[in-house]
């Protein structure tokens, strides 16, 4: 006999303004418990000290988590010059100091080096796996972790404030896999000193932003008062799929996909749909199939056939 899932079958995204007192997994678990969701996942890990946008997927939305993680991101952070920590943020212990304090002009002159396609080595304390183990677990056990450099995309890196000579505020727009702690660390070294992040806040992930975010305290109050249906807090599943093309299907075509069958686009009226999908470069070969605007499945275009990749049962 199949084991029955516990919880309410909710489908969609809740945007949490994560507090800086817990991990992303802990925050997700708390939200899932509050909403009594039977299945949940989050769209991109935030460091424990970080606050801000943490998209949390419920039900069928968990099938689109990868697309949320791939989304364009915006961060704001404050860094402190003169001290390096083992975690590259204030959570770690100071491992080295340096006297240098750059001027605004020196910072502005170096920032262009860190925009575009940038090579960076992730922090030792990161979730990257090394021989099957998380890097942060190895680092906590005192093992020397050697992480390979990776190429990331930084679209914008701006100096936005200077509270004092020891600190500087920045705003960054970037692509998938960019570590703010690495940016801060490497920027300090390029300026002839050391540095680490003291404050980190994520402002957006794709279409998820602080404008549609809720704090844990607000969520707890909403649930306690019972004046709103928790489902009203959820954004549609397709919110995470902005970066892939969509194709609308007939009821018959949608039904074929729901049963795991492919859909051939061979009629004259299908030519425009095929051509649009082939020319759309937002995601190679993957699209969102909809019926009257409602999501049906993630599909792959194979020649003239749409093949289901993940069927969305909503």
The active-site residue out of 17, 47, 70, 88 is 47
Cα end-to-end span (Å), the chain = 24
Two structure tokens written together for 105: 């002009």
Query: Quick one: which of 169, 148, 172, 155 has its CA closest to 118?
Result: 155
Alpha-carbon distance of 158 to 112, in angstroms, equals: 9
Say which residue the tokens 């959570």 belong to. 91
Two structure tokens written together for 220: 């707890």
Alpha-carbon distance of 280 to 267, in angstroms, equals: 20
Say which residue the tokens 């009594």 belong to. 36
Query: How many residues in the chain?
Result: 314
Helices (H), 11-97: 24-35, 65-69
Q: Taking a C-beta distance cutoff of 8 angstroms, is the pair 73, 205 a contact?
A: yes
Helices (H), the chain: 24-35, 65-69, 104-110, 135-140, 180-190, 216-225, 251-258, 271-279
**Residue 47 annotated as catalytic:** yes
Say which residue the tokens 């844990």 belong to. 216
Active site residues: 47
């Amino acid at each position: 006999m199949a084991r029955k899932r516990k919880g309410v079958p909710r489908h969609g995204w809740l945007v949490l303004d994560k507090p800086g007192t817990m991990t992303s997994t802990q925050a997700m678990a708390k939200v899932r418990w509050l909403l009594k969701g039977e299945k949940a996942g989050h769209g991109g890990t935030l460091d424990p000290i970080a606050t801000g946008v943490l998209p949390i997927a419920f039900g069928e939305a968990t099938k689109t988590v990868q697309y949320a993680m791939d989304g364009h991101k915006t961060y704001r952070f404050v860094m402190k010059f003169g001290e390096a920590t083992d975690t590259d943020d204030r959570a770690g212990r100071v491992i080295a100091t340096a006297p240098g304090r750059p001027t605004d002009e020196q910072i502005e002159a170096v920032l262009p080096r860190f925009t575009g396609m940038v090579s960076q080595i992730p922090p030792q304390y990161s979730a990257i796996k090394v021989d099957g183990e998380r890097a942060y677990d190895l680092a906590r056990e005192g093992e020397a972790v050697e992480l390979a450099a990776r190429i990331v995309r930084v679209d914008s890196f701006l100096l936005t404030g200077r509270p004092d000579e020891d600190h500087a505020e920045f705003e960054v727009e970037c692509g998938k896999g960019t570590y703010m702690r690495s940016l801060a660390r490497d920027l300090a070294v390029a300026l002839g000193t050391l540095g680490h992040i003291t404050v980190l806040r994520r402002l957006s992930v794709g279409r998820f932003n602080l404008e549609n975010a809720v704090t844990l305290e607000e969520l707890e109050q909403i649930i306690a008062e019972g004046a709103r249906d928790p489902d009203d807090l959820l954004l549609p599943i397709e919110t995470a799929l902005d970066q892939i093309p969509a194709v609308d299907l007939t009821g018959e075509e949608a039904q074929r996909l729901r049963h795991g069958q492919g859909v051939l686009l061979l009629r004259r009226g299908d030519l425009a749909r095929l051509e649009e999908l082939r020319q759309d470069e937002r995601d190679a070969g993957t699209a969102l199939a909809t019926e009257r605007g409602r999501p049906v499945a993630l599909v792959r275009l194979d020649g003239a056939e749409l093949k289901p990749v993940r069927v969305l049962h909503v």
